[in-house]
A and B are shown apart, each in its own frame.
Chain A
C-alpha cells in the first residue's frame, strides 16, 4: 500500500504543481496585458490632464476678463489688468518670419540631398543637419544673445533701416534703433531651429516618390529642377505641408531660444526690429515672479492658448502626413 501510494501521490502533486504553474503563467500573462493597456491609456490621460489642468488654472483669468483677454493689448501686473494680444501677435509674427526663411531653404536642401548630392555624401550631410535639430534650445538662446544679436545690431539691422528708410510702408516695418534683440532676431533664430525638421521630413517624403515616376520624367528630357517641380513636389505635396506644419508647431511653442533674444516688451509695434514678446517667452520670464492669483492665472491662460494653437497645427500636420503614408503604403 505504501509503495503504491507514493508514485500516485507524486504524480498527483506533479499535476498539481503543473496546473499551479500554468495558473501562475496565465495570471502573469493577464497582468502584463492589462499593464500595457493601462500604459497606453495613460498617454491619453496625460493629454487630458494637460488640457484640464490648464483650463482649471486659466479659469480665474477667463472669468475676469472674458473674451476681452484675447483681444486686449494691456499687460499691467500692478493694476492686475491682463490681455493676451501682444504675446499672441509676437508668437505668430516670429513664427511667420521663421517659416518664410526655413521652408524654401529646407526644401532646397531636401532637393539637394535627394537629387543632386553624390551618394557617399548624403548620409553625412543628412546626419549633420539632423544634429542641428538635436542641439537644445537654450544653446540657441545663449548663442543668439551673445553672438547673433550683436552681429545683427552691427550689420543687418542698420543695413535694413538704411535700405528701407525712405520706402513707404517698409520704413515702418524697420523703424526704430537697431537694438539687436527683437522680433526679427527671434524669428531668425527660430528659422535656424526649425530648418532641420523641415529638411529631414521633406527629404523623407521626397525619397518616398517611386523612382519610376522620376525616371520617366528624366527619360523624356526633364531637367533636375523640372523633375522636382513637376513630379516630386506635386506627388509629395501633402507630406511637405505636413512637415511644414510640424516645423510651425515647433516654432510656435519654442521657449528658451526666443526668451533670450525677444526683449520681453508687452507692446505691438509695426517695426519688426523692435523688442516684443511671445506667449512662451512671457510665461518663462514672468511665471516664477508672478504675484497674485490673477497674474498666475493669466499666464496659465496664455499657456492654454498656446497649447490650443499648437494642437490644431500639429493635428493638421499629422493628418497630412498620414494621408501621404496611406497613399504610398
Chain B
C-alpha cells in the first residue's frame, strides 16, 4: 500500500516537473527569437532605414519603398476586407442567428480562417494577375483582404452575440428600424471587440508573405502605382535574407525586427482593448 502511494506520488512529481519544463521550453523560444531579432536587427536600425530606398547589393540603403508599399497594401486590404467582414458578421449575429445559412457560413469562414495563405495567393493569381497579364499592387491588396475577411467576420459575430438582447429590445421599443438599431446600438456596444478584430487582422496580414509572392511581386524602385509590381516588407525580407550579400541580409534582419515589433504592438493593444472591455 505504501509503495503504491509512493509510486503515485513519484509519478505526479515527474509529470509536474515535465509540465514546468514544457512551459519553460515554450517561453524559451519566444525569448530566443525576440532576443536574436533585437540583437541582429537593432544595430541596423537607423534613420536611414526609413528614408532611403532598397540598395543594390554592396551599397548602403534603407527600406523606405517596401515600408510604404506594405502600408499601402495593408490599408487597402483593410478598407476592402473590413466592410465585407463586418456586414457578414452582422448578418450572422443579427438577422440569421438560427438559420442554416449562418452555420454553413460559420463553418466555411472557419476553414478560410486557417486555410494556407499561399493558396490565397494562387487564387488571386488565377482571378486577377493572369487575366490582367501582369503583377500588380492592387492584386496583392485583394489577396490580403481575403485573409482579413474571415478574421473580421469571426470577431464581429462573436462580439455582437455578446450584446444583451435587452438593448436590442429597448431600441425596437422606441421604434427604431432594425438597421438603425444595429448601427446605433449593437455596433456601439460591441465596438471595442470589433476594433480588436480589425487590429488582429492587421497584425495577421502585416507579416504575410506567401500571398504577395505572385501578386505584388517586388519592386526595387519607388512605386506607388497600384497597377504595377510593388515592394513590400515581407517579400523584400524574403529576397534579401536568401541573397548571398551581407548588407542585404542585415537589412532583412532590420526589416524583420520592424515587422515583429509592429505585430507585437498590435496584438498587445488588441489584447488590452478586449481586457478593458471585460472588466468594465
Contacts and interface: CB of A to CB of B under 8 A. Distances in A.
Interface residues of B, number: 90
Contacts of A142: 237, 241, 252-253, 256
B110 A318 contact: yes
Contact of B256 (A127, A139, A199, A303): A139
B214 to A, nearest CB: 5
B11 A225 contact: yes
Contacts of A140: 33
Contact of B88 (A32, A40, A195): A40
Given A47-B111, A225-B11, A36 B207 contact: no
A29 B46 CA distance: 53
Contact of B179 (A29, A39, A284): A29
A287 B213 contact: yes
Contacts of A167: none
Interface of B: 8-9, 11-12, 15-16, 18-23, 25-27, 29-30, 33, 36-37, 40, 83-88, 90-92, 94-96, 101-102, 104-105, 107-112, 114-120, 122-123, 125-127, 146, 149-150, 153, 177-180, 182-183, 203, 206-210, 213-214, 217, 234, 237-238, 241-242, 249, 252-253, 256, 259-260, 263-264, 267-268, 271
A246 B12 contact: no
Q: Is the contact region of chain B dominated by helix, strand, or loop, or is it mixed?
A: helix
Interface string A8-29: 0000000000000000011011
Given A136-B259, A253-B116, 6 more contacts: A38-B87, A39-B86, A40-B87, A57-B126, A104-B22, A307-B115
Interface of A: 25-26, 28-29, 31-33, 35-44, 46-47, 49-50, 53-54, 56-57, 104-106, 108-109, 111-113, 116-117, 125, 127-132, 134-143, 145-147, 192, 195-196, 199, 223-226, 228, 246, 249-250, 252-256, 259-260, 280, 283-284, 287-288, 299-300, 303, 306-307, 310-311, 314-315, 318
Given A129-B26, A255-B116, A36 B87 contact: yes
